[in-house]
Amino acid sequence: MRELPKELTLPSGMVPPAPPDPPVTPKDAATVMLVRDSPDGLEVFLQRRVMGMAFAGGMTVFPGGGVDRRDADTSVAWHGPSPAWWGSRFSCDLALARALVCAAVRETFEESGVLLAGPDETSVVADVRPYAEARAQLVNRDLSLAGFLAEAGLVLRADLLRPWADWVTPVEESRRFDAKFFLARLPEGQRADGATSEAQDARWQRPGDALDDWKAGRSGLLPPTWTTLAELEECPTVADAMARERVITKLMPRVAREGDTLRIVLPGDPLYDDAPNHLDARPDDKL
């Protein structure tokens, strides 16, 4: 397991003085690393969340968000690995696996304007402008992903996603997520716009440059984002990243207090066992 740098700390206001007892049940969520090739190597799409947001305000993150109950709709037109396959990779049941993939596609479209769907199983939408109104309706929850795809005559392309990781928010925090991380190549002809009220800016960056920004204090990163960027930095091309076989293990950092400093630690760190030990056996799978 990759060791987190000691400099990776949390803002003091992010964690309450005492951990909630009992711990907050994590909400299921999906996060998507959009990647593309550039003359200088692989680039990933990043957004800086608006300051003052209830969770991770001001932090640099990948697009993503919580699962909506309607994401489990079995009527969605689907191509690619089955929900059973995704469930085996993420160690979850069929309904949750389906919902996670749908949430990944929906959140990516809502937050970046990139749509991982096409008219059939061999094509992907190249121009998303005709779906601008539907995008707004998805954001407002006036429309479900299944309803949007059905109205537009589109098929969800699960084969464009790859499973990458599973991170659970520490028990010390009052807002918690069990976030499944997906990797996806930017479809040809599409562009990521970052036109979302949740982000104050968005950009494509090489993973190493994003880590340099963090080192220089120009951005804030949470442990899953830092770790994923470090892993993507090892991938010279999108093809290399997409071809990597990942063993998905649920990871939950803990918060170790050193005076006024909130350090993030992972299993294997001597401070990990000294931190509060309230790991949930499983997040609530009810949709």
Q: 198: domain CATH number?
A: 3.90.79.10
- Count of domains observed in the chain: 1
Domain extent for 213 = 25-253
Distance between CA atoms of residues 15 and 154, nearest Å: 42
20 lies in some domain: no
209 lies in some domain: yes
232 lies in some domain: yes
Question: Residues 6 or more apart from 283 whose CB is under 8 A from it?
Answer: 25, 26, 27, 28, 168, 178
Question: Per-residue pLDDT for the chain (287 aa), expressed as one digit of tens each?
Answer: 567 888 888 776 677 777 788 989 999 999 999 999 999 999 999 999 765 555 555 789 999 999 999 999 999 999 999 999 999 999 999 999 999 999 999 999 999 999 999 999 999 999 999 999 999 999 999 999 999 999 999 999 999 999 999 999 988 888 899 999 999 999 999 999 977 777 678 999 999 999 999 999 999 898 999 999 999 999 999 999 999 999 999 999 888 887 778 888 888 777 777 665 443 333 443 44
75 lies in some domain: yes
286 lies in some domain: no
280 lies in some domain: no
In this structure, the number of other CB atoms found within 10 A of the CB of residue 33 comes to 25
Report the predicted TM-score, pTM, of the whole model to 2 decimal places.
Answer: 0.90
185 lies in some domain: yes
78 lies in some domain: yes
Distance between CA atoms of residues 223 and 230, nearest Å: 11
